[in-house]
C-alpha cells in the first residue's frame, strides 16, 4: 500500500541533499570539535560555518545563535532564563501553547510561586491584544510573555512585531516559540522586537534532534545545561556536528525555495479545504483559515459520529497519516488542549492535515475520496 503522509507539522522527511552534506560528518570527519588537532578543527569549522549561515538567513549576529537538541530544549532554556536571570516574576502565556511551553511555565508557577496568567483568545483562536495590554499594564512584577508564532495544531499566526512592541513598552521579556515558522517564513531578527526564538530542523526537511535558540545580544543569561564549555559556555555537551551541518543546509534550501514552495503548499491546503466542503457535509475548520494562518496546516472539524470517532484509526489502516490536533498528544485519550481551548463542542472531531513540498493534489483527491467512504 502506498502511504500518503499528511502530518508534516509533526515532522518532515529528511531531504536527500541535506543527508548528503551530513554523511561525511557521520563517517570520515568524526573529530570532536573540542579537540585541537586537525580532525577536531575540521568539525569546529563546520559548526561555525553553519552558525554563520543560519545567522545570515535569520538576519541575526552569529553570536546570537546557539545550537541545541531541538525546540523543546530551546523553549525550556529561554523560559528558565527569564525567571532565573532576567528578573521576571510574572509569566503571561496562553492555553494553546505547545506543551514544551505549557509544562515549563506550569512547573515554574508551582515550584517557584511565579505568577502565571493566560491571555484571552478571540473566537477565531487569535490572541486578544487588548487583554495582553491589560495584563502587562496591571502587573507589578516584570513579565515574561511567551506566545508562539504559529500554532502547531490550528495554524494561527501571531503578529510578533505587535506583541514585541507591547513588551518593549512595558519592559517585558518576549519569547516566541517559532518551531513551526523557522524554515517556513523569512525572519529579520535585527529588526524584530523579540528576546528569544527557537527552531527545529526536522520541521523543514532537516534531521531530528537538532535545533537553535536565538538569544538577543542585549540579553545575558547563564547556562541551562552545565558541564563543558561548548556553545561559548552556554550549552554543555559534545556538539551534534552532523545535525548542525544538516540544520544549516535544510534552512538554506528552505530559504532559497521559500516563494515557490510556500505558494505551492498553500494551494494544496486551500484545494483540500474546498474539496472537503464540496464533498463532505457538516465539516468546518478550526483556526483562522482565511486570515493570518500557517500555510502548511489545515485543521478540519468533523461532526462527531460513531464512524468519525474512529477516523484517525481508519485513515491509518488505509495508509493515510494525519493527526488529531497535535502529534504530541495523538495517542492520549485527553485529546487536544488547543481544540478544547477554542472550541469546547463535544460533538465535533478535529483532524489536522499538514502539507509539504512533496505532497500532491492527487493525494488530496485520494484522501477526500477515502474520507467520503469512511464518513
Which positions are annotated as active-site residues? Answer: 328
Cα(121)–Cα(94) distance, rounded to whole angstroms?
Answer: 8
Work out the angle at residue 144's Cα, subtended by the Cα atoms of residues 59 and 179, and round it to the nearest 5 degrees.
45
Q: Is the torsion defined by CA of 80, 86, 90, 91 positive or negative?
A: negative
Q: How does strand 65-68 pair with strand 284-285? A: unpaired
Collapsing DSSP to helix, strand or coil, 43 comes out as helix
If you search the block for the grid coordinates 464512524, which residue do you land on?
A: 307
Angle at 110 between CA 337 and CA 194, to 5 degrees: 70
Extract the C-alpha cell encoding 250. Answer: 535544510
Cβ–Cβ < 8 Å for 341, 96: yes
Closest CA to 151 of 356, 341, 370: 341
CA distances from 302 to 61, 151, 346 (A): 46, 20, 11
Find out whether 309 and 299 touch, Cβ atoms under 8 Å.
no
- Those residues whose C-beta lies under 8 Å from the C-beta of residue 254, and which sit 6 or more positions away, are 183, 184, 204, 205, 261
Rounded Cα distance, 202 and 240, in Å: 14
Torsional class of 113: left (φ above 0), alpha (ψ -120 to 50), beta (otherwise): left
| 173 vs 87: CA distance, rounded Å | 9
User: Which of these, 78, 91, 60, lies nearest to 172 by C-alpha position?
Assistant: 91
Query: What nine digits make up the cell of 267?
Result: 494551494
Amino acid at each position: 500500500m502506498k502511504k500518503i503522509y499528511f502530518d508534516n507539522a509533526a515532522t518532515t522527511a529528511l531531504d536527500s541533499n541535506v543527508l548528503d552534506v551530513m554523511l561525511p560528518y557521520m563517517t570520515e570527519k568524526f573529530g570532536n570539535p573540542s579537540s585541537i588537532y586537525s580532525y577536531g578543527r575540521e568539525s569546529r569549522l563546520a559548526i561555525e560555518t553553519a552558525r554563520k549561515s543560519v545567522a545570515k538567513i535569520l538576519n541575526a549576529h552569529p553570536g546570537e545563535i546557539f545550537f541545541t537538541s531541538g525546540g523543546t530544549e530551546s523553549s525550556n532554556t529561554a523560559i528558565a532564563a527569564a525567571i532565573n536571570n532576567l528578573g521576571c516574576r510574572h509569566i503571561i502565556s496562553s492555553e494553546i501553547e505547545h506543551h514544551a511551553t505549557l509544562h515549563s511555565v506550569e512547573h515554574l508557577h508551582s515550584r517557584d510561586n511565579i505568577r502565571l496568567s493566560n491571555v484571552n483568545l478571540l473566537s477565531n483562536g487569535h490572541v486578544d491584544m487588548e487583554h495582553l495590554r491589560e495584563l502587562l499594564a496591571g502587573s507589578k512584577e516584570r513579565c515574561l510573555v511567551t506566545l508562539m508564532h504559529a500554532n502547531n495544531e490550528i495554524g494561527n499566526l501571531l503578529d510578533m512585531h505587535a506583541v514585541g512592541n507591547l513588551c518593549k513598552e512595558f519592559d517585558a521579556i518576549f519569547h516566541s516559540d517559532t518551531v513551526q515558522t523557522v524554515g517556513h517564513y523569512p525572519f529579520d531578527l535585527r529588526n524584530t522586537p523579540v528576546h528569544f526564538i527557537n527552531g527545529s530542523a526536522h520541521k523543514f526537511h532537516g534531521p531530528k534532534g537538532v535545533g537553535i535558540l536565538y538569544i538577543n545580544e542585549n540579553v545575558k543569561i547563564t547556562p541551562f545545561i552545565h558541564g563543558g564549555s561548548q556553545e561559548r559556555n552556554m550549552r554543555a555537551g559534545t556538539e551534534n556536528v552532523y545535525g548542525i551541518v544538516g540544520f544549516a543546509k535544510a534552512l538554506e534550501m528552505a530559504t532559497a525555495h521559500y516563494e515557490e514552495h510556500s505558494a505551492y503548499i498553500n494551494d494544496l491546503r486551500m484545494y483540500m479545504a474546498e474539496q472537503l466542503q464540496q464533498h463532505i457535509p457538516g465539516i468546518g475548520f478550526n483556526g483562522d483559515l482565511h486570515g493570518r494562518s500557517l500555510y502548511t496546516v489545515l485543521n478540519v472539524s468533523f461532526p462527531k459520529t460513531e464512524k468519525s470517532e474512529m477516523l484517525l484509526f481508519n485513515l491509518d489502516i488505509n495508509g493515510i497519516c494525519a493527526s488529531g490536533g497535535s502529534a504530541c498528544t495523538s495517542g492520549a485519550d485527553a485529546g487536544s488542549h488547543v481544540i478544547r481551548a477554542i472550541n469546547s463542542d463535544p460533538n465535533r472531531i478535529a483532524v489536522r492535515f499538514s502539507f509539504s513540498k512533496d505532497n500532491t493534489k492527487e493525494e488530496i483527491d485520494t484522501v477526500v475520496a477515502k474520507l467520503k467512504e469512511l464518513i
